[in-house]
Amino acid sequence: MEGLTDFDMRRTLTELSPYAWCVTEFLRITQQLLPSSVFLRHMPELETASKTANGTPVHLQLLGSDPTLMAENAAKAASLGALAIDINFGCPAKTVNRHRGGAALLKEPELIHRIVLAVRNAVPSEVPVSAKIRLGTDDASEMAENVAAIAQAGSSWLTIHGRTKAQGYRPPVDWHAIADARRYANGMTIIANGDVHSKLAAEMCQQITGCNTLMIGRAAVSQPGLVEEIMSGRESLSWAAVRQAQLKFLAEMNGQDVRMVGRYKQWLAMTALHYPEAAADFALIKRLKHRQAVFDTMAL
């Protein structure tokens, strides 16, 4: 999730819930083979065996439309220690789609096939290559061909967000369409994504889609204890625990105060969707720009 699940967020969320793995924000591949410094800046975990501080594996996500460039950069990432390469064909953002990236490629299954195949052939066999798509551009009519194209290219698994590009993140999510997609996967694992925001929703999603594995996006940020709740049945984290984790997140970030405080506000606003107390905290600090001022206010 661009602008959201950066290194600091990945480190914090994986400390709070038991993820099987997490995925970076997408790294845009446009005109060249990127230098090592760009990969390391985008995914600092490359220097720690591609794992977060608590040992959760991190997969690198790439976004682009040129099979050769995608393959070259995937190979470079693998040489730097990337454990797995994920390819984004699901981003609905207009700025991305205008440059022939993300969900804009759902109308081009042959190109999707060539990209996945090129990346698969470029990295060592022990490095999984996966992809993420949406149901289609305006409806699910493109899904079967895209799923088959990705499976035939040798993808290790495919994550499907149960909405179209046109929907963005608006309801409803269509888990039944994800179930249909499994018919075209030729044995490839399908991971379901979309509106998994509670233990009940996770159970319903698995039942409807037939998928054993789920990907959680925005709800993982707004409910930091959600994965633990789904896995163990324990109640979600208390607000006190989330608040402490958010302040630790702010304290451990490196960079200019305005950016760090902005990231903290962003997360605080998202947790307000689930924790009413977060809205009160946000009201206290919404005009603050310096980190120490936030700490001083939160200590009141």
Enumerate the domain spans of the chain. Answer: 7-232, 239-298
Q: How far apart are CA 17 and CA 226, in angstroms?
A: 7
With beta carbons less than 8 A apart as the criterion, state whether 128 and 157 touch.
Answer: yes
154 among annotated binding-site residues = no
pLDDT tens-digit series, residues 20-36: 999 999 999 998 999 99
**pLDDT, averaged across the chain:** 95
Supply the residues annotated as catalytic: 91
Mean pLDDT, residues 171-182: 96
With beta carbons less than 8 A apart as the criterion, state whether 91 and 134 touch.
Answer: no
| DSSP per residue, 123-176 | S-TTS-EEEEEES-SSSGGGHHHHHHHHHHTT-SEEEEESS-TTTTTPSPP-HH
Mean pLDDT, residues 278-294: 95
How buried is 81 (Cβ within 10 angstroms: 0-12 exposed, 13-18 middle, 19+ buried)? middle
61 among annotated binding-site residues = yes
217 among annotated binding-site residues = yes
pLDDT tens-digit series, residues 96-154: 888 789 999 999 999 999 999 999 999 999 999 999 999 999 999 999 999 999 999 99
pLDDT of residue 72: 98
Q: Is the pLDDT of residue 236 over 80?
A: no
Mean pLDDT, residues 46-60: 97
pLDDT of residue 232: 86
Q: Is the pLDDT of residue 2 over 80?
A: no
Beta bridge partners of 193: 161, 215
102 among annotated binding-site residues = no
Residues 6+ apart with CB under 8 A from 16: 224, 225, 228, 237, 241, 245
195 among annotated binding-site residues = yes
pLDDT of residue 4: 81
Higher pLDDT, 63 or 2: 63
101 among annotated binding-site residues = no
pLDDT of residue 93: 86
pLDDT tens-digit series, residues 187-209: 999 999 999 999 999 999 999 99
Q: How far apart are CA 7 and CA 50, in angstroms?
A: 11
Tell me the CATH architecture of domain 7-232: Alpha-Beta Barrel (3.20)
pLDDT of residue 300: 60
